[in-house]
Structure 1
Amino acid sequence: MIHIVPKPTDTPDDDSTGAVIWELKRAGARCRVLDLGAVDPLDSGLENELIWVCGIRQDGHQFETLNVLSLHNRVINTPESIVACASKAMTTALLLKCGVQTPETAYIKAEAQARDFVLRHGKVVYKPLYGYDGNGIRLVTKPDELGPGPWYLQEYIRNDRDYRVFVLGGEAVGAISRVSDSLTHNIHQGGTGMPVTIDKDMRAIAEAAASAVGIDYCGVDLLHDGEGYTVLEVNGTPNWHCMAAPIPELLARYLIQEERKMRA
């Protein structure tokens, strides 16, 4: 049995969870929706089961419930990797530890250090530490524009698009470019996505980023800085809008494969 934690932002017109459930049922897999809000993880009755987390609310109860369930079950993605991706500071730290190219970044509480970072780069991008869908991202060109800290700041890299690469089981399986007139090209912020071919450099850095955070599947967001690709962030509960690759089918196949491994 595959137990499914649905993405809380799903809608009838954009139902990521439902798309994968349809593929699971088409393949003859047994599955059911798991409501974390109705689970006591200390007495769940779940043991040696596969739990797929399509999405998660950013609250302590869901994180802790998954943490406890992961002691006796195979959770995809693991709570540790979801938490690592949710924190932009931890994602950056893991990328740096593994030597994966990423923009120069600082996570700063001292205002003097933040001001120095802005003055040194001229333009920097402020991002909420736990932000999603491009919300709250803004360009800072002067120290007076910093606002209240602490600050997660990245050097600004001039661009007119970014790339989302979907990595599954360590392999890059699909990619899109996202174009917009705004600072962030996220589709939720008005960006337009278009499938692109995964070139060897894109594949190498996206797969290295996924490995760095130790995740089953993810969306790796890239910029091209003129010399090569650099990783902006890694998404642990990614959307796959505009992908030409059949992501729901590939995800379903991966979940079935992983459950079979547990039974072997």
Structure 2
Amino acid sequence: MIYIVKKPTDTPSDNSTGMVADELKRRNVDFSYLDLETINPFSKDLEGNLIWICGIKQDELQFEIINSLSINNKVVNSPDAIAICASKVQTTAKLIKNGVKTPETIFTASKRLVSDFLEKHGTVVYKPVYGFDGNGIYPFENISELKENPPYYIQEYVKNDRDFRVFVIDKKAVGAIERVSDSFAHNIHQGGLGRALSKIPPEMAETASAAAKAIGIDYCGVDLLFKNDSYTVLEVNGTPNWHCMSAPVPKLLADYLIETEKSI
């Protein structure tokens, strides 16, 4: 049986869960929705199933429930992978360990180390560890501009006028968009405009796939910048949307869920 956990941020005009559910319906595949707020994860009825986490609230209850469910079920994406992607610190650590290109980064409670890092790079970028949709991210050139309390997750600034989102399923890049804006952040939720790429450049696909492998995730959205004639990974999204993509992502995700459920 396939169970689906709806994405909390779904809206009638942007319904990621519904798009994939519609694909399952077209194939006459049985599935049921799972409300993490109202279930008992220890129930014998919830064993030996595929549970697709389209999205969750970042709170203790839901993380604990999906972790419990993963013991006797196949959970996509796994709780570990979702947790890694939710933390920019853990994502960076995984990328570095596995040799995936990513901007130079520090994570520290020391303003002195931030000052040293700033002196080295001239311009750096502050990011909230658990931020999303580009919220709270800003560049700065002087330590006096850093207003947040520690700890600090700080990256080198990579000069750019666009970024890229690559959708990866089962370690294979299946679609990509280019995002452009007049502001620092190109995220669509920050006003960026997305344009589907008709073809994914081989190095872009390889870098995105390598990032997915480093995290150990079933599917994801990998955000990249172009730097020094190659691609560098900014972050990996474990519950991604697929705005503006020409690739049939809902169909591809439905295919993946069906095949994965058969293997349980």
TM-score tier (shorter): over 0.9
Corresponding position of 1:218: 220
The 1:206/1:144 distance shift into structure 2, 3 A limit, reads same
C-alpha distance in structure 2 between counterparts of 1:260 and 1:229, whole Å: 36
Corresponding position of 1:179: 180
C-alpha distance in structure 2 between counterparts of 1:226 and 1:107, whole Å: 24
How much does 1:21 deviate? Answer: 0.2
Do residues 27 (structure 1) and 45 (structure 2) align?
no
Do residues 158 (structure 1) and 159 (structure 2) align?
yes
Corresponding position of 2:251: 249
Do residues 2 (structure 1) and 2 (structure 2) align?
yes
Secondary structure of the 1:70 match is helix
How much does 1:261 deviate? Answer: 1.2
Secondary structure of the 1:184 match is coil
- Percent same amino acid at aligned positions? 57
Match runs of 1:108-257 below 5 Å: 108-147=108-147, 148-196=149-197, 197-257=199-259
Unmatched runs of 5 consecutive residues or more in structure 2:
none
Over aligned residue pairs, what C-alpha RMSD do you find? 0.8
C-alpha distance in structure 1 between counterparts of 2:58 and 2:205, whole Å: 30
The 1:44/1:56 distance shift into structure 2, 3 A limit, reads farther
How much does 1:258 deviate? Answer: 0.4
Match runs of 1:66-85 below 5 Å: 66-85=66-85
C-alpha distance in structure 2 between counterparts of 1:75 and 1:246, whole Å: 22
Secondary structure of the 1:172 match is strand
C-alpha distance in structure 2 between counterparts of 1:161 and 1:155, whole Å: 16
C-alpha distance in structure 1 between counterparts of 2:118 and 2:9, whole Å: 34
How much does 1:225 deviate? Answer: 1.0
Alignment: residue pair count:
262
How much does 1:203 deviate? Answer: 0.8
Secondary structure of the 1:37 match is coil
How much does 1:227 deviate? Answer: 2.0
Secondary structure of the 1:220 match is strand
C-alpha distance in structure 1 between counterparts of 2:83 and 2:69, whole Å: 15
How much does 1:42 deviate? Answer: 2.4
C-alpha distance in structure 2 between counterparts of 1:13 and 1:80, whole Å: 30
The one-letter amino acid of 1:259's match is E
Secondary structure of the 1:42 match is coil
C-alpha distance in structure 1 between counterparts of 2:70 and 2:23, whole Å: 25
The one-letter amino acid of 2:251's match is E
- Counterpart contact for 1:119–1:143, Cα < 8 Å: no
C-alpha distance in structure 2 between counterparts of 1:185 and 1:161, whole Å: 6
Corresponding position of 1:12: 12
C-alpha distance in structure 2 between counterparts of 1:48 and 1:182, whole Å: 47
Query: TM-score, normalising length from structure 1?
Result: 0.98
The 1:103/1:42 distance shift into structure 2, 3 A limit, reads same
Spell out, residue by residue over 1:96-141, the C-alpha distance to the aligned partner (whole angstroms, 9 max, x if none): 0000000000111112111211122110011000000000001111
Secondary structure of the 1:231 match is strand
Secondary structure of the 2:119 match is helix
- Counterpart contact for 1:175–1:243, Cα < 8 Å: yes
